[in-house]
Amino acid sequence: MSSERDFSDIITSLAKKRGFFWGPSPEIYGGSSGFYDLGPLGKLLKNRLENQIRSAFVRANFWEVECPTVSPAEVWKASGHLDGFIDPVTKCLKCGQIFRADNLIEEQAPGVKISGNSVEELTASIQMLNIICPSCKGGLGPVEDYNLMMKTRLGLDQDAYLRPETATTTYLLFKRFLTFFRDKLPMSVFQIGKAYRNEISPRQGMLRLREFTQTEGQIFLLEKDELEWPQFEDIKNENLPLITYQAQEKDKLDPVMTKMSKAIKEGYFQKPAYAWCVHLAYTIFRQMGFSEKNMRLRQHLPTERAHYAADAWDVEIHTDSFGWVECCGVHDRGNYDLTRHQEFSKEKLHVKVNQKPVVPEVLEIAFGIERPLFCLIDNSFQSESKERDTDWLRFPPEVAPIQVAVFPLMGKPELLEPATEIFNRILDSGFIAQFDTGGSIGKRYRRQDEVGTPFCVTIDYTTIEDGTVTVRDRDSMDQVRIHKENLVEGLKNLIRGTTQFHTFK
């Protein structure tokens, strides 16, 4: 069965059927591409991922902020998005489909040089080169600038845009941060929130969205901090799976486990502070539950980098659906953004170093949450087998949407009462738990396997006699009886991974 279907279809239909995500949304009105709903399990999973991200940033001394998702046009003029966040598009005069004009020309007339051309020049090229609609062979209309930001209006007449990332809104708070951090650099802040990109024709489901949840950590620091970064000491002996741009130029695409201290010595990273950020990004993804074997860190080729970026590395995750997926970027943004906002706002966005004004540098970790969410479902998928008559999800216990399920053997008051008490105790200790009374215990195990719940607890008549309950492990399908007084502590150790189930009593 599986081999005949595209793996991404298997994951998507499983996700829809079991309540992870639905879409394109709104489904009952035909759907709008690039928009998805998170169902109950997808939302639990997303909350888990957000908590892991928060906890990793907070331990690395970042403070969280929340800025508006809608900002006036002048902000986006200053940031460069109004003029630069643009694709040239053309519409088929016959079937009405919209395409990126530059992509079409490059596909149909390889070798033609159009880089930097204006929309008028692109329109002329389309006519001259006889470029046609790839879908219906129709003629194409004039090329227009298409800004990827969604535009709206405040009050009656103020132009505003939905933010395409969170970074800009964070930078605007620079002066406030100086007060909050008592004028001491470096200052580290992060933001988790919605961002919007009006992609022409988004495909690949959850991987390319028009509305998504962006996470961005920013460090404001001086050039000297970039080179003398004390926290680098803590990670200098850690190994990361790196692919440098030099290796890529030699077609070596397998990551090489490299000690951080060596990566600095060899010049893979110029700046210890930046290297530390790459390591933090890697750590965040590990804490979201990705295994080392499915991860690699890839440096951008010099030609790939944004105009403002001195260096850029991506975290990539391997999936069965799409191969390697770019999930996170780590950027050395220099002082481009603050300089621009200083210029446009006329506010001083600098600190004094030896009595001279200096605009600080910025290092950034940026990623959307929906991609790792999809990749984690992909990576957790397990086919049905002769032991188990359903395909199931092997989520790491710390990020599983539901961590513990509680089953009273039957829906009778004498069992419901102790089961509810145990359920509440599990909730009190901070776990996400589900109470299920429907169907046979086997059927209930199966349902929990399908959504990746690592542990199930059954309360039966023996519980009333001797206070023990049955704990069942998803992965091994093994069961043990333990006393209910030891249950919460035991679950804690199992979920944190400090105890393995086979040693658990």
Stretch that binds a second copy, among 6-14, 50-58, 308-316, 483-491 (CB under 8 A): 50-58
Under rule CB under 8 A, which residues in 189-218 are in contact with a second copy? 189, 194, 196, 198, 200-201, 210-211
Residue (234 or 292) nearer to a second copy, CB: 234
> Which residue in this structure is represented by tokens 């006519």?
127
Dihedral pair phi/psi, residue 180, rounded to 5°: -60, -40
172 binds a second copy (CB under 8 A): yes
From candidates 162, 219, 222, 312, binder to a second copy by CB under 8 A: 162
Supply the DSSP symbol for 150. P
CA 38, CA 40: separation in Å to the nearest integer?
7
CA 373, CA 394: separation in Å to the nearest integer?
14
Instruction: Count how many residues are written for the chain.
Output: 505
The number of residues that bind a second copy (CB under 8 A) is: 77
From candidates 158, 383, 390, 440, binder to a second copy by CB under 8 A: 158
Shortest gap between Cβ of 441 and a second copy (angstroms)? 17
Shortest gap between Cβ of 299 and a second copy (angstroms)? 32
Would you state the structure tokens that stand for residue 404, as one six-digit string?
Answer: 């513990």
Residue (61 or 385) nearer to a second copy, CB: 61
Under rule CB under 8 A, which residues in 398-437 are in contact with a second copy? 427, 430, 432
Residue (197 or 333) nearer to a second copy, CB: 197
Shortest gap between Cβ of 64 and a second copy (angstroms)? 5
450 binds a second copy (CB under 8 A): no
173 binds a second copy (CB under 8 A): yes
Please name which of 215, 81, 79 lies closest in space to residue 149, comparing C-alpha atoms.
81
**What sign does the CA torsion over 220, 225, 231, 235 have?**
positive
Q: Name the burial class of residue 158, with classes exposed (0-12), middle (13-18) and buried (19+) by CB atoms within 10 angstroms of its CB.
A: exposed
From candidates 9, 13, 58, 478, binder to a second copy by CB under 8 A: 58
390 binds a second copy (CB under 8 A): no
Please name which of 50, 32, 80 lies closest in space to residue 211, comparing C-alpha atoms.
32
Residue (149 or 482) nearer to a second copy, CB: 149
From candidates 52, 123, 169, 448, binder to a second copy by CB under 8 A: 169
461 binds a second copy (CB under 8 A): no
Which amino acid does the sequence have at 11? I
59 binds a second copy (CB under 8 A): yes
Shortest gap between Cβ of 186 and a second copy (angstroms)? 15
> Which residue in this structure is represented by tokens 């399920």?
405
Under rule CB under 8 A, which residues in 117-156 are in contact with a second copy? 146, 150-156
Shortest gap between Cβ of 71 and a second copy (angstroms)? 6
Under rule CB under 8 A, which residues in 310-369 are in contact with a second copy? 341, 344-345, 347, 349
- Helix (H) / strand (E) element for 365: namely strand 361-368
For residue 145, list its beta bridge partners.
88
Dihedral pair phi/psi, residue 367, rounded to 5°: -160, 150
What's the Cα-to-Cα distance from 371 to each of 208, 213, 217, 293, rounded to whole Å?
Answer: 8, 10, 17, 18
Shortest gap between Cβ of 130 and a second copy (angstroms)? 23
Please name which of 166, 172, 290, 272 lies closest in space to residue 226, comparing C-alpha atoms.
272
Shortest gap between Cβ of 4 and a second copy (angstroms)? 25
Shortest gap between Cβ of 38 and a second copy (angstroms)? 4
Q: Is 37 helix (H, G, I), strand (E, B) or coil?
A: strand
70 binds a second copy (CB under 8 A): yes
Residue (44 or 284) nearer to a second copy, CB: 44
Please name which of 201, 128, 125, 209 lies closest in space to residue 164, comparing C-alpha atoms.
209
- Helix (H) / strand (E) element for 473: namely strand 468-473
Stretch that binds a second copy, among 56-64, 233-241, 247-255, 479-487 (CB under 8 A): 56-64
Q: Is residue 42 a contact partner of residue 15, using CB atoms and an 8 Å limit?
A: yes
Stretch that binds a second copy, among 166-174, 241-249, 294-302, 403-411 (CB under 8 A): 166-174
86 binds a second copy (CB under 8 A): no
Would you state the structure tokens that stand for residue 338, as one six-digit string?
Answer: 């603050």
Binding mask 88-117 for a second copy (x = CB under 8 A): -x-x------x-------------------
Q: Is residue 120 a contact partner of residue 144, using CB atoms and an 8 Å limit?
A: no
From candidates 5, 137, 175, 252, binder to a second copy by CB under 8 A: 175
Q: Is residue 397 a contact partner of residue 499, using CB atoms and an 8 Å limit?
A: no
